[in-house]
Amino acid sequence: WLCGVLAPPELQEKTLVLVKPDAVQRRLVGNVIQRFERRGFKLVAMKLLQADQGLLDKHYQQLRQKPFYPALLAYMTSGPLVAMVWEGYNVVRSTRAMVGDTDSAAAAAGTIRGDFSMHVSRNVVHASDSVETARREIGFWFQRDELVAWESGDQDYTYGP
């Protein structure tokens, strides 16, 4: 039965999505999940947690010198967030397109940020920006055994034979 579980490598690309604390407070978690499910991506890990500074310092290591970093840290630790790993063909690139521009005002309608957020400082979701970043970020947020490999019954209908 294991043969069925092993999708080809190009279908196993993974990305980290965080549903940020503003979105949890605003009861948008289901809506965000639904968009990725509906697209056809496969959920392989998910948890609700309260992030601490140590984790965020690693996650946002490129931004630690930015003037807005203290505010970003306060926002990201203000309440629980939902961390998820989604898998599928070109999932990193597709997810970034679905999330929309960092600046909510520039995010296209139809994107998550374009539909649900008003300001860069409360922009609802995070999504990894490259396959390499995703690999690193997933390692910050999840233990290896928290990722579940499972056979997706609709694979032929989603990707073709």
Cβ atoms of 152 and 158 closer than 8 Å:
yes
Nearest distance, CB of residue 71 and ligand IDP, angstroms: 6
Out of 29, 43, 46, 72, name the contact with ligand IDP by CB under 6 A. Answer: 72
Report how far residue 129's alpha carbon sits from residue 106's, in angstroms, rounded to the nearest whole number: 17
Question: In this structure, what token pair is assigned to residue 32?
Answer: 């965000």
Out of 35, 42, 59, 126, name the contact with ligand IDP by CB under 6 A. Answer: 126
Residue 150 near ligand IDP by CB under 6 A:
no
Examine the residue annotation and report whether 126 is marked as an active-site residue of this protein: yes
Nearest distance, CB of residue 145 and ligand IDP, angstroms: 28
* The amino acid at 89: Y
Q: Judge whether 102 is annotated as a binding position.
A: yes
Residue 68 near ligand IDP by CB under 6 A:
yes
Inter-CA distances, 111 with 35, 38, 98, 160, Å = 10, 14, 5, 26
Strand positions, DSSP E, 23-150 = 42-49, 81-87, 125-127
Site for ligand IDP in 8-67 (CB under 6 A): 63
Q: Judge whether 96 is annotated as a binding position.
A: yes
Could you give the angle at which helices 91-99 and 29-39 cross, rounded to 10 degrees? 130
Q: Which of 126, 128, 137, 152 is catalytic?
A: 126
Residues marked as catalytic? 126
Residues lying near ligand IDP in the complex (CB under 6 A): 63, 68, 72, 102, 120-121, 123, 126, 129
